Structure 1
């Protein structure tokens, strides 16, 4: 019996090995941003096998056409014989004539170090897997082994959420997990700590000191613990650990990208030059995704499509509520002050509140725009200034509204997020918009839950924030003492003319005056610009509400129009005590419960 069991086990292991796709990647020509990828696909039954480069990447919502960086493709059988290759479209290679095994080889050019693309140079091999490795869609359920042929002469080592096999060989249970596992290969510095029996790692590639990493890691730990308090426990990471893959180097691109058991965080800011405080916000945002998005996951993102763009109407919750917590967590962790947090709300609030785009799309439809705006590229001009509000910002402002309005009822957003986590996150049951509404109704009552969704989600109304903020000793004011023009305009120091560099905002003084992107303002009321003058400062000399003559050129043709400046519609946020008003003990207690600070 024992002998028979051993034979069965041996046969099973052989079968599993025979159906494991294997990759090797090497970096001999890293100085020129090239990697060479070899892959073997055994035990093939189909005469023709399709190999593809992904067109999208987990965490991104637009197409990125990774095939454009692939060249030198070759396909052979197990004996090295060349196979027939057909290209039916830009993303696919059809290989036929094999003997049960196909081996492919190709060169990848990679030179963008962020969360979407890959970068190979002599500082590191920073790999986003969909941007790097071809795959066979028909074999997506197979186990994968990947060997990283590291540059030992550069002291490289591997950091990844992939489980280690041995040496520099790692594995993935299937294609999806492989694609979701970014990898940083460099001479990084590693820090770790334990929470709830799980290991939290920071693999930091930077040009600074060990002491700087120690200081920064204390901030990271505070963020992790503050976010754990929202949900009560950390997620059950698949292999018992979570890793921040951080690159703070001059050749990186600023970015953050969440994954199931890790996250990419990149910046050109070193810890010594602003990154110690400036980079921690990305840590806060991406780690919150460990719950919200990675496990509390919209059904519209399941399964993730590597051949097209997923469209989701829930990004205002998945990304936007995460954005609301980004700054709030920094405040709760003691990394910014309550004053800094509260005053910092103004930028996002004004962007959403004063946008004309709400007349065209609600927050669900703003989420639908993700394939066009999430690092997507186009060459034709668009009218985003007037038709789009980022679902990050829109959702963040709605997160603030929901939190403050729940607190008025003796509830709070933390507990709502926890209830959603229990129902949809721990169970990993993808949710729909209707599920979210039902969850809020169950948590806060039918009138409240339906009212929030009907007014602010399905419609584009904005709530009255002032009394909710006032209850926490925070003032929301609209000063109206600054003139408002309505377009991003810059004075050229050499020509002393002002160029309008973006579309004018619908309903603004500039828009109503017929001014447009690209117009060059010569002067207003014949008063010239000064060479070192900011446009906003120039406007302050004019009286609001009074018709002004604007001399400008369009396509080189002189023109004149009349413009009436209006008060700036922006709001300010401030603590009552900073405006010489004394908040009550009840207000201070309310603030303490919200911000979790003394």
Structure 2
């Protein structure tokens, strides 16, 4: 009987604990100056000193962002209105003591960057990334949260969010993590939605265009959703039965996309009437694919997500990179770009990865480890990324392409492998490791195939035989060996000289000649720098590989000279073989159609 009483008391305490709610209110009286006023209330606080923090990171980002820098006018009182003691031991934390079990806080927030990481407040909208906006109490992270948005009715604002609706302008979250993962858009936006297998897909579109433009764009969104569903065989089970695209296409936004569990942020300076109808849909494709790959097919290295430190993962070549591979492939399959445009568009990413000297330093896993330094991170000291880093988005994308074409040679395909990964790790929400991903490929394609792919291209920095793989789907890869190559990115100065604007690439003619970032080229072979002509075009038009150039340049204000021996341009052109007047065989054409899902 004593144990029963203890259990009943424990159960009652659990119910009371569960019933406790952290509540927030946010208002925007001074939106014209990018300010929000925020209040929060924490009840039944057991500890003598309540720690309150601003996050240093944000879901989907891996670097530190220090959101506390935009908080000021912080105050704290108890339930009776008495001022509480506030102490600071680090830049991200406010410690409140002397309370009576209740802590009520108020503070002001400055916010003026509309993207997937930060918040932006003005008279066009309140674009809220939650970690950049709301303080939280780490010790109370499992409590339910309610937030009330005092919208600007004079500006016709509405609320769009993945947070479940409570009543009026109040929304809830089951815990801190879901709250932090729930961006919210308050604006005079347009809403479109459609049903897929009993779930609702919504578009909240903040764009100055017409209703007709919104309709056209939503038709593209629907095609993307259905094409991606076909890859995995089903939609994820969204927590509250719906998924929301939060799209801000306005001049004062910053271009970005950021995935969340049941929603995504899409931002661009391109309005639908200004190129966005076609130019913005790629981000839709990328971010919605993340509702499977990253949000539910989740790397174990990102669980649990740390709001206080940088988040490092060695799996981003798969999480971000394979998603990037599917981004434009889905647009092709959905009929939003032509097969020719898709194929030719592969060249930029391919050349970037293939010709990078960075593979001698890091494999795809190690490139992924660099995310805290490159993922919207900032630094004031110069870095050598041109030579030491390949984006895991791009690296993983070309590896996804190679894996897909390699599997198709065996009568398999990447879609079915992704389905297996989904059912094994995503649908079950069982986080994966690189080793488990390797074993899953072994299971799907055979141990020899799986081990060879990971040992050659993931654990090491090898490159697949792309020319041979492309042949299987009627795609040619070619180089113009008559085109000369200098190997430096050069911009024209006000004095019509040429300034090297980035680090010269290891092994390039410019690098070997000792030219470096910041050098100003004043003359080539004794002639003044070509007036108004981009250097690379000038080199291609006037010279051949193996030609020697005498370069006069300024460094630190002093004139210097060096000799540059040009080489052949290492970049490839990728195209359908029909463009070279070579007809694909029936077998090759069948393989291409199966790959691109075209009739």
User: What is the CA distance between 1:155 and its match in structure 2?
Assistant: 0.6
1:514 aligned partner? 514
69 and 168 in structure 1: CA distance in 2 versus 1, 3 angstrom threshold: same
Q: CA RMSD in A?
A: 1.5
1:23 aligned partner? 24
- Determine the C-alpha separation between the residues in 1 that align with 2:441 and 2:530: 55
- Contact 1:18–1:43 at 8 Å: present in 2 too? no
- Determine the C-alpha separation between the residues in 2 that align with 1:273 and 1:480: 38
17 and 447 in structure 1: CA distance in 2 versus 1, 3 angstrom threshold: closer
Structure 1 residues 47-100: Cα deviation after superposition (integer angstroms, max 9, x where no partner): 111000000000001000000000000000001100000001000000000001
1:294 aligned partner? 295
Task: Map 1:261-410; keep pairs closer than 5 Å.
Answer: 261-410=262-411
User: What is the CA distance between 1:564 and its match in structure 2?
Assistant: 0.4
Structure 1 residues 524-571: Cα deviation after superposition (integer angstroms, max 9, x where no partner): 111223432111122131232022211111111111111001111011
User: Which range is displaced more, 174-183 or 469-478?
Assistant: 469-478
- Determine the C-alpha separation between the residues in 2 that align with 1:212 and 1:13: 51
User: What is the CA distance between 1:170 and its match in structure 2?
Assistant: 0.3
Task: Map 1:148-163; keep pairs closer than 5 Å.
Answer: 148-163=149-164
- Determine the C-alpha separation between the residues in 1 that align with 2:278 and 2:199: 26
2:222 aligned partner? 221
17 and 363 in structure 1: CA distance in 2 versus 1, 3 angstrom threshold: closer
- Determine the C-alpha separation between the residues in 2 that align with 1:555 and 1:18: 67
Q: Secondary structure at the match of 1:88?
A: coil
- Contact 2:127–2:185 at 8 Å: present in 1 too? yes
Q: Secondary structure at the match of 1:193?
A: strand
- Contact 2:482–2:545 at 8 Å: present in 1 too? no
2:3 aligned partner? none
- Determine the C-alpha separation between the residues in 1 that align with 2:90 and 2:483: 55
- Contact 1:78–1:101 at 8 Å: present in 2 too? yes
- Determine the C-alpha separation between the residues in 2 that align with 1:470 and 1:589: 13
- Contact 2:483–2:544 at 8 Å: present in 1 too? no
- Contact 1:25–1:36 at 8 Å: present in 2 too? yes
1:502 aligned partner? 502
Aligned: 1:592 with 2:593: yes
2:525 aligned partner? 525
TM-score, normalised relative to structure 1: 0.97
User: What is the CA distance between 1:521 and its match in structure 2?
Assistant: 0.7
User: Which range is displaced more, 483-492 or 234-243?
Assistant: 483-492
1:238 aligned partner? 239
Q: Secondary structure at the match of 2:87?
A: strand
Structure 1 residues 438-463: Cα deviation after superposition (integer angstroms, max 9, x where no partner): 00000000110000000000100101
- Contact 1:18–1:42 at 8 Å: present in 2 too? no
TM-score, normalised relative to structure 2: 0.97
2:5 aligned partner? none
- Contact 2:18–2:143 at 8 Å: present in 1 too? no
User: What is the CA distance between 1:284 and its match in structure 2?
Assistant: 0.2
1:122 aligned partner? 123
- Determine the C-alpha separation between the residues in 1 that align with 2:127 and 2:365: 34
- Determine the C-alpha separation between the residues in 1 that align with 2:568 and 2:15: 75
- Determine the C-alpha separation between the residues in 2 that align with 1:349 and 1:413: 19
| Structure 2 residues not aligned, in runs of 5+ | 1-8
Task: Map 1:433-582; keep pairs closer than 5 Å.
Answer: 433-492=434-493, 494-539=494-539, 540-582=541-583
2:107 aligned partner? 106
Structure 1 residues 370-414: Cα deviation after superposition (integer angstroms, max 9, x where no partner): 000000000000000000000000000000000000000000000
- Determine the C-alpha separation between the residues in 2 that align with 1:22 and 1:514: 61
- Contact 1:320–1:392 at 8 Å: present in 2 too? yes
1:77 aligned partner? 78
- Determine the C-alpha separation between the residues in 2 that align with 1:407 and 1:21: 52
2:96 aligned partner? 95
- Contact 2:19–2:144 at 8 Å: present in 1 too? no
User: What is the CA distance between 1:12 and its match in structure 2?
Assistant: 8.8
12 and 196 in structure 1: CA distance in 2 versus 1, 3 angstrom threshold: farther
Count of aligned pairs: 590
| Structure 1 residues not aligned, in runs of 5+ | 1-7
